[in-house]
């Protein structure tokens, strides 16, 4: 492929996909209703309801016709539940709530209560359809990303354009993205300017201006300008593909409370069946009528079933996961929401997490009659052949001030210390202070002062001694202090775990408002410190972006990765990903976790109270089967709707 960027020829402008207007809520609700009406389970519920109405009307004409219609309603509304219950019974040799409801309905019909049994089937099928629809809706916000994945790309090679499948792109390819098209791979803009809608990746509501040198992400929508993009991460290594993998994990991961509830459901179902059998057999032995005892047993079977308890957790969790996704916060599962709600400490990596991960020049201290501008030009020239991040920062600063660095005659790197350079016939050293012998007290004091401020010092030395000192520091993220204050306001302590020097770490911690500082840590030391903090405080979240943070992310209760700047190892290890690298979203995620935990508690307390009340009334005075059906199944519908509240921001 030619390394040069071809001139863009006239392009047929495709109109960008319009963003939904703020006033489209009513339209969205209409579409949501249509989806519900065409939902397979809901269609079965509607048919079941119609059959029940026809059966009731036919009861005035023919009992046989009425019974046949009720039986049809049983089959239509109860088929899915019966199949699921039988599969559980046959494959796992266990009972679940589906089979309990079918048995209760059949039992009611056996003693002549066809209408009550059919209504039970109808309401149970309605709650099941609503729960399924809720689950699909809550995951649709995330899984719809699959529809945004580009299928083809316009590959530019030898000044010609060729449409190729996205899977054929390799690193270094140059692709053309026309207005209104989706960017096919992660890359860097080589030519052109445009506003790019990154909402699908970062959650940003406004398009982001992209110019040469700026990164772009697969799946994002180009605006009105044409872009030539160099492919950096093709195929499955793109950030977009990683998001899809996170989505798939999030949809399959169950929280601990849900796993417990499923185990409890099966034990509870056995107990309910046992008590039902005892009621059927014991009441006649005590002098009661068999039909009455069987009827009361069927009522017990209905009202004691744990439908609402089972529905208390997962719809709420999926709604919360969907809510977070719309903010650019991706959870890998509801379990991590539970853990995050109980977090007591949030630990941060420093470089690339609390800071931007890019050093910038802060101080120039000249000696030997150099002024600041001359010293900066000299340092940039000495560093112009180096690929070190500090060297690049010095060169960039000089260029930004209108200077044109010269190249040295030779450069030799002293690994870990600095470089030795020959420039304009003179030998120079540039690097750490310990690399420079013969330093005066004044020069040492200046270096000490800068290091105490948390800055990295670069010293220039020639044959006459120290020519000057440059200080650089990684800038704290603009939102870091606000994010830390938000966490403090929620009663959560903050810590910094870094491999940097103690003085630098403490200076950054003071600026960000961090409580606890642990410096000079290797990756294994971070893991040990995470375990120590867990023992001291309890649940802990770790925020990081680099490969060296991956072990600590795994050791924490909740690992949080920076999505845009994070390494593949950090993204794979983390339990939660901040797609916009906005640290303020950590506090928002904790609030969402706590809100979810509160909704789940409300659901479970309400469901248990309804079951206890209905069972008590049934034993004390007896309640009609229709009332038991309505009371029990209404509680199931209410807990599902309560979980849906978490979809709101």
Contacts with 253 (C-beta within 8 Å, 6 or more apart), sequence order: 332, 333, 334, 335, 336
Single out the residue of 200, 206, 236, 202 nearest to residue 220, CA to CA.
200
Please give the pLDDT value at position 32: 46
CA atoms lying within 13 Å on the CB side of residue 429: 19
- The mean pLDDT of 112-136, rounded to a whole number, is 74
User: Cα separation of 229 and 187, whole Å?
Assistant: 6
pTM (2 d.p.):
0.65
Contacts with 576 (C-beta within 8 Å, 6 or more apart), sequence order: 329, 330, 331, 332, 336, 340, 558, 559, 560, 561, 589
Q: Which long-range contacts (CB under 8 A, 24 or more apart) does 17-22 make?
A: 17/180, 17/221, 19/197
Q: Is the model's pLDDT at 18 over the cut of 70?
A: no
Task: Supply the DSSP string of 264-288, one letter for each residue.
Answer: HHHHHHHHHHHHHHHHHHHHHHTT-
Find residue 347's DSSP bridge partners.
495, 542
Q: What are phi and psi of 347, to 5 degrees?
A: -100, 135
Segment 438-472, tens digit of pLDDT: 788 888 899 888 888 878 888 998 888 899 999 98
Q: For residues 96 and 342, which has the higher predicted lDDT (pLDDT)?
A: 342
Please give the pLDDT value at position 413: 74
**Where residue 376 falls among pLDDT bands split at 50, 70, 90?**
very high
CATH (residue range 149-240): 2.70.150.10
Most confident by average pLDDT, 75-89, 267-281, 341-355:
341-355
Single out the residue of 402, 380, 11 nearest to residue 225, CA to CA.
11
Q: Is the model's pLDDT at 20 over the cut of 60?
A: no
Please give the pLDDT value at position 94: 64
| Domain range annotation of the chain | 149-240, 320-355+477-593, 358-475
Q: Quickly tell me which residue has 């509304």 as its tokens.
A: 77
Tokens at residue 164, please?
């190729």
Rounded to the nearest angstrom, the gap between the alpha carbon of residue 444 and the centroid of all alpha carbons in its chain is 48
Tokens at residue 53, please?
């109405």
Q: Please compute Rg for the chain using Cα positions.
A: 33
- The mean pLDDT of 480-509, rounded to a whole number, is 89
Q: Quickly tell me which residue has 């860097």 as its tokens.
A: 188
- Secondary structure class of 483 (helix, strand, coil): helix
Most confident by average pLDDT, 73-87, 246-260, 289-303, 389-403:
389-403
Q: Are 161 and 177 in contact (CB under 8 A)?
A: no
Single out the residue of 272, 277, 274, 278 nearest to residue 301, CA to CA.
272
Q: Is the model's pLDDT at 489 over the cut of 90?
A: yes
Is 545 part of the annotated catalytic residue set?
Answer: no
Q: Are 426 and 398 in contact (CB under 8 A)?
A: no
Q: For residues 485 and 525, which has the higher predicted lDDT (pLDDT)?
A: 485
| Catalytic position from the list 349, 500, 575, 581 | 349
Please give the pLDDT value at position 29: 42
Q: Is the model's pLDDT at 643 over the cut of 90?
A: no
**Looking at 141-155, 582-596, 631-645, which range is the least confident one?**
141-155
Q: Is the model's pLDDT at 299 over the cut of 70?
A: yes
User: Cα separation of 456 and 99, whole Å?
Assistant: 69
For all residues of the chain together, what is the average pLDDT?
Answer: 78
Q: For residues 419 and 377, which has the higher predicted lDDT (pLDDT)?
A: 377
Please give the pLDDT value at position 38: 45
Q: Are 216 and 188 in contact (CB under 8 A)?
A: yes
Single out the residue of 171, 298, 186, 172 nearest to residue 238, CA to CA.
186
Please give the pLDDT value at position 63: 80
Tokens at residue 198, please?
């990154």
User: Cα separation of 125 and 131, whole Å?
Assistant: 10
Q: For residues 149 and 575, which has the higher predicted lDDT (pLDDT)?
A: 575
Q: For residues 46 and 287, which has the higher predicted lDDT (pLDDT)?
A: 46
Contacts with 608 (C-beta within 8 Å, 6 or more apart), sequence order: 309
pLDDT > 70: percent of the chain: 80
Q: Find the angle CA(530)-CA(532)-CA(537) to the nearest 5 degrees.
A: 90
Task: Supply the DSSP string of 498-564, one letter for each residue.
Answer: -SS-HHHHHHHHHHHT-SEEE-S--HHHHHHHHHHHHHHHS-EEEEE-SGGGHHHHHHSSEEEEETT
Please give the pLDDT value at position 31: 44
Tokens at residue 573, please?
């290890």
Please give the pLDDT value at position 589: 92
**Where residue 27 falls among pLDDT bands split at 50, 70, 90?**
very low
Single out the residue of 217, 259, 212 nearest to residue 234, CA to CA.
217
**Where residue 566 falls among pLDDT bands split at 50, 70, 90?**
low
Tokens at residue 507, please?
């200076």
DSSP state of 182: B
The kind and range of the H/E element at 176 are strand 174-177
Q: Is the model's pLDDT at 194 over the cut of 80?
A: yes
Q: Are 525 and 377 in contact (CB under 8 A)?
A: no
**Class of the 320-355+477-593 domain?**
alpha beta
Tokens at residue 460, please?
């220039």
Q: For residues 616 and 88, which has the higher predicted lDDT (pLDDT)?
A: 616
The kind and range of the H/E element at 626 are helix 625-644
- The mean pLDDT of 555-564, rounded to a whole number, is 83
**Where residue 416 falls among pLDDT bands split at 50, 70, 90?**
low
Q: Quickly tell me which residue has 């976790």 as its tokens.
A: 593
Tokens at residue 225, please?
């300008």
Segment 220-229, tens digit of pLDDT: 888 878 899 9
For 286-319, the three-class secondary structure string (H helix, E strand, C coil) is CCCCHHHHHHHHHHHHHHCCCHHHHCCCHHHHHH
CB atoms within 10 A of CB 600: 29
- The mean pLDDT of 575-600, rounded to a whole number, is 89
- The mean pLDDT of 530-544, rounded to a whole number, is 91
Tokens at residue 275, please?
């008590």
CB atoms within 10 A of CB 553: 31
Most confident by average pLDDT, 247-261, 426-440, 569-583:
426-440
**Where residue 83 falls among pLDDT bands split at 50, 70, 90?**
confident
Q: Quickly tell me which residue has 């410190």 as its tokens.
A: 529
Please give the pLDDT value at position 519: 87
Please give the pLDDT value at position 30: 41
**Where residue 21 falls among pLDDT bands split at 50, 70, 90?**
very low
**Looking at 4-13, 213-222, 273-282, 486-495, which range is the least confident one?**
4-13
- Secondary structure class of 111 (helix, strand, coil): coil
DSSP strand pairing (465-476 vs 456-462): antiparallel
* Range 358-475 classified under CATH 3.30.1050.10: no
Tokens at residue 577, please?
């990903």
Q: Is the model's pLDDT at 154 over the cut of 80?
A: yes
């Amino acid at each position: 492929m030619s390394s040069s960027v071809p001139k863009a020829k006239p392009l047929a402008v495709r109109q960008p996909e319009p963003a939904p207007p703020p006033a489209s809520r009513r339209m969205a609700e209409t579409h949501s209703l249509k989806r519900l009406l065409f939902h397979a389970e809901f269609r079965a519920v509607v048919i079941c309801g119609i059959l029940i109405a026809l059966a009731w009307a036919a009861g005035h004409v023919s009992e046989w016709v009425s019974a046949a219609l009720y039986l049809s309603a049983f089959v239509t509304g109860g088929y899915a539940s019966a199949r699921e219950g039988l599969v559980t019974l046959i494959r796992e040799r266990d009972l679940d709530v589906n089979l309990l409801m079918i048995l209760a309905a059949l039992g009611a019909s056996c003693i002549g209560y066809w209408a009550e049994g059919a209504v039970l089937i109808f309401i149970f099928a309605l709650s099941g359809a609503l729960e399924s629809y809720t689950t699909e809706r809550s995951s649709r916000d995330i899984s719809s990303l699959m529809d945004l994945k580009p299928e083809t790309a316009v590959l530019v090679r030898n000044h010609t354009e060729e449409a190729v499948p996205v899977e054929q792109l390799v690193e270094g390819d140059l692709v053309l993205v026309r207005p209104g098209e989706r960017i096919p791979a992660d890359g860097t803009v080589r030519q052109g300017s445009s506003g790019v809608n990154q909402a699908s990746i970062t959650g940003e509501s406004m398009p982001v201006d992209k110019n040469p040198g700026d990164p772009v992400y697969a799946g994002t929508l180009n605006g009105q300008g044409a872009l030539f993009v160099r492919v950096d991460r093709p195929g499955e290594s793109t950030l977009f593909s990683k998001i899809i993998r996170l989505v798939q994990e999030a949809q399959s991961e169950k929280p601990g409370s849900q796993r417990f509830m499923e185990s409890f459901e099966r034990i509870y179902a056995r107990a309910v069946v046992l008590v039902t059998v005892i009621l059927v057999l014991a009441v006649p032995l005590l002098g009661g009528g068999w039909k009455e005892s069987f009827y009361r047993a069927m009522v017990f079977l209905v009202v004691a079933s744990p439908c609402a308890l089972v529905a208390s957790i997962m719809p709420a969790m999926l709604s919360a996961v969907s809510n977070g996704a719309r903010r650019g916060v991706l959870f890998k599962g509801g379990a991590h929401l539970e853990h995050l709600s109980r977090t007591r400490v949030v630990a941060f990596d420093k470089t690339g997490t609390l800071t931007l991960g890019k050093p910038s020049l802060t101080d120039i201290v000249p000696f030997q009659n150099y002024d600041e501008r001359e010293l900066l030009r000299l340092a940039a020239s000495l560093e112009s052949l180096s690929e070190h991040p500090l060297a690049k920062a010095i060169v960039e600063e000089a260029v930004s001030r209108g200077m044109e660095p010269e190249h040295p005659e030779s450069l030799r790197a002293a690994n870990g210390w600095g470089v030795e350079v020959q420039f304009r016939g003179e030998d120079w050293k540039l690097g750490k202070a310990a690399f420079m012998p013969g330093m005066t007290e004044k020069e040492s004091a200046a270096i000490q002062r800068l290091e105490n401020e948390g800055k990295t010092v670069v010293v220039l030395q020639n044959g006459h001694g120290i020519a000057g000192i440059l200080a650089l520091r990684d800038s704290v993220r603009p939102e870091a202090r606000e994010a830390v204050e938000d966490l403090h306001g929620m009663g959560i302590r903050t810590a910094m775990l870094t491999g940097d020097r103690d003085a630098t770490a403490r200076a950054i911690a003071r600026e960000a408002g961090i409580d606890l500082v642990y410096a000079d840590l290797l990756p294994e030391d971070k893991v040990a410190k995470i375990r120590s903090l867990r023992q001291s405080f309890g649940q802990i979240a770790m925020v990081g972006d680099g490969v060296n943070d991956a072990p600590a992310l795994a050791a924490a209760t909740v690992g949080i990765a920076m999505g845009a700047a994070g390494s593949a190892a950090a993204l794979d290890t983390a339990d939660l990903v901040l797609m916009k690298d906005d640290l303020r979203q950590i506090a928002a995620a904790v609030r969402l976790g706590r809100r979810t935990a509160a909704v789940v508690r409300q659901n479970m307390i309400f469901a248990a109270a309804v079951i206890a009340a209905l069972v008590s009334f049934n034993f004390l005075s007896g309640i009609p089967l229709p009332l038991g059906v309505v009371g029990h199944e209404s509680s199931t519908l209410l807990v599902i709707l309560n979980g849906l509240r978490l979809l709101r921001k």
